[in-house]
Amino acid sequence: MKKTVLVTGGAGFIGGNFVYYMLGAHPDYDIVCVDSLTYAGNLSTLKKAKESARFAFEKADIRDRGTINGIFEKYRPNVVVNFAAESHVDRSIKNPEVFLTTNILGTQVLMDACIAYGAERFHQVSTDEVYGDLPLDRPDMFFTEKTPLKASSPYSASKASADLLVMAYHRTYGLNATISRCSNNYGPYQFPEKLIPLMFINAGEGKPLPVYGKGENVRDWLYVEDHCAAIDLILENGKNGEVYNVGGHNEMRNIDIVRLICKYTGASETLIKFVTDRKGHDLRYAIDPEKIKRELGWTPRTKFADGLKKTLDWYRENESWWKEIVSGEYKNYYAKMYGDKV
Ligand code: NAD
Ligand code: TDX
């Protein structure tokens, strides 16, 4: 059936991958991407999508109610998937305010527009970080959808706030809404400030590899395409008002990922530099994905070794994509964030 899906934040990492996933999986869907192109948004990510007659791009800020309403008026989307967010924990520690306005108020503007223009479904892309962290010495503990929200950083607090607001809109105004809470994603088009691309680029350039603390923090990694498939399934068969955790039981210590990247690039492990820890650094994330497996039949397809190789091969083959980014404003960010550490 023909549908128009409005994807916010589609010039970013996961949103961009989702645009391609949906164009490929649903030949009868039109995709409209709304993105304000912050430092994290790259139009070059959408270059191929723009060649499709089923794709449209609108540069707009999700906090700008007038413009967002105009876009809803123009396209009348059936479904809205909200990826647009400030997404980097380190930046939220330095400058929390924009995280609150975009991640919370922007979500509100989108939900108001869904109600005003009669969208059938609003899907909020959330994160496992809303649950806080788990101890390192309790491998038996996992986040379920019933785990209480207990955010640690301004970023995760803003995402948890948005989740609460989505549930409040569902109950108060009858908004048809779903939420997915996914673990750490990796794959093509991830902005170089995040762990895997940052370490790949630094390793290739023979620069120090700044590992926070002792590198023992654990993240639960999922290949981005598996996340996209999970969201697509939730849009198709997910129940109104439900939360779905998404993760593939793939826990890794940061230091082990960095060592794998050294191996792949041929860089010496002597480049690894243990630096001052992130403030409030979450120890371990681990998702229990039983609900989405049981109710929607989702399973992750990509094994970590294959996904990591595919990702690093992509960065190797798409140097122009990331070189353009690291040569601009990113340089100032890197100097400010890491200058006194490495
Ligand atoms: P990203 O930072 O790569 O992309 C975010 C995109 O949103 C960018 O294109 C940016 O320009 C856009 N944006 C930011 N503020 C905006 C605004 N006010 N109006 C319009 N557009 C705006 O982020 P990502 O890693 O792709 O994450 C996407 C979503 O998935 C986020 O909501 C994040 O919380 C969530 N998430 C990310 C991960 C992960 O591992 N990266 C894991 C779980 C959940
Ligand atoms: O230079 C670094 N050194 C380092 O040791 C960076 C950038 C990170 N790290 C550590 C911090 C984390 O323990 O690596 C781990 C991963 O860091 P990030 O890539 O910044 O991701 P994280 O903080 O785990 O959050 C990510 O996953 C959940 C996304 O950025 C969020 O948007 C998502 O919600």
Q: Could you tell me how far CA 174 lies from the centroid of its own chain? A: 27
CB 258 within 8 A of CB 214: no
Q: Which atom of ligand 2 is nearest to the CA of 219?
A: 24
Cα 139 to middle of ligand 1, angstroms: 29
Residue with CA closest to ligand 1 atom 17: 61
CA of 13 to the centre of ligand 1 (A): 7
**Most informative mutation of 7, 8, 14, 110 for ligand 1 (most atoms within 8 A of CB):** 14
Domain assignments of the chain as residue spans, ordered by start: 3-191+222-249+284-302
Decide: 156 and 127 in contact? Cβ < 8 Å: yes
Active site amino acids: 128-129, 155
Closest atom of ligand 2 to 258 CA is: 5
* Ligand 1 atom nearest 45 alpha carbon: 9
In the reported structure, the alpha carbon of residue 40 is separated from the centroid of ligand 1 by a whole-number distance in angstroms of 8
3-191+222-249+284-302 folds as Rossmann fold (3.40.50)
State if residue 85 touches ligand 1 by the CB under 6 angstroms criterion.
Answer: yes
Ligand 2: nearest atom to the Cα of 199: 1
- With a CB cutoff of 8 Å and minimum separation 6, the contacts of 270 are none
Q: Are strands 55-59 and 184-186 parallel, antiparallel or unpaired?
A: unpaired
- Is ligand 1 within 6 A of the CB of residue 333? no
What are the residue ranges in the chain where pLDDT is below 70? none
Indicate which ligand has the atom closest to the C-alpha of 129: 2
Residue with tokens 């895997």: 196
Name residue 106's amino acid. Answer: G
* Interior angle at CA 48, CA 47 and CA 53, nearest 5: 110
Q: For position 28, what pLDDT does the model report?
A: 98
**pLDDT confidence of residue 31:** 98
- pLDDT for the residue 1: 87
* Mutational pocket test of ligand 1: of 87, 102, 195, the residue with most ligand atoms within 8 Å of the beta carbon: 87
| 77 contacts 122 by C-beta, under 8 angstroms | no
Residue type, 196: I
Three-state SS at 282: coil
Cβ atoms 198, 204 nearer than 8 A: no
> CA-CA distance, 125 to 231, in Å (whole number)?
8
83 lines ligand 1 (CB under 6 A): yes
Say what the pLDDT of residue 55 is.
Answer: 98
* Whether the CB of 14 sits within 6 Å of ligand 1: yes
Model's pTM, two decimal places? 0.98
DSSP symbol at 185: E
pLDDT at res. 251? 98
